[in-house]
Chains A and B, each alone.
Chain A
């Protein structure tokens, strides 16, 4: 059983829709991450939250809007996405910001997003 829960598992949306991806962990981790993974490519970091504050934005377009309402939850709000945004979106967490580089990250199963 994965300890990082992502919902929904699959999402199909039109380019004008607004939807949200959700990620939840109850391991007490204080660093949380969003990654984007295209087919046959490695995961690419999008955002990092440390102690519920955005610490890294990898120049992600504003049509992706992250939110960390509390230490257990991470959302990714989607609006006006493009077909090229179709991908697997992975959420991950690790125990402590500040030493995160040498701590393993715990991943969810991902949300498979398709933009029509």
Chain B
């Protein structure tokens, strides 16, 4: 069974702080790593899909890195803003089926 783990479970930061979270996954049979942002009462929003070892992707103040050999991905948020408050989910894509195995998520609260 594919096990995806995220840490920390929750995080409280001040506006302007930079922060990062970790997603760990089995390095064998890796296919793809997804990051989603899920704000309360909204739908999960895709941030990144990464497939290659060493991949780095950026979207505004948010960036992500991928290490498939050691089985982890980092998500960074530079200069956190209150609107960044959300749960950040990572998920492993399982082959070509489209099946995603999600981690438990990291809930970020940014205080003004």
Contacts and interface: CB of A to CB of B under 8 A. Distances in A.
Interface in B68-101: 89, 91, 93-101
Nearest to A92: B44
Please tell me the size bucket of the interface on A: 20 to 34
Contacts of A44: 102
B31 A107 contact: no
A37 to B, nearest CB: 9
A97 B34 CA distance: 17
Interface residues of B, number: 27
Interface of A, helix, strand, loop or mixed by DSSP: mixed
Given A100-B96, A107-B45, A110-B43, 13 more contacts: A42-B102, A42-B103, A42-B104, A45-B100, A90-B44, A101-B32, A101-B99, A102-B31, A102-B93, A103-B49, A104-B34, A106-B46, A107-B43
24 contacts: A2-B42, A2-B43, A4-B43, A41-B104, A42-B102, A42-B104, A43-B89, A43-B102, A45-B100, A48-B97, A94-B98, A97-B96, A98-B96, A100-B93, A100-B97, A101-B31, A101-B94, A101-B98, A101-B99, A102-B31, A102-B51, A102-B93, A105-B34, A105-B46
Interface of B: 31-32, 34, 36, 41-46, 49, 51, 89, 91, 93-105
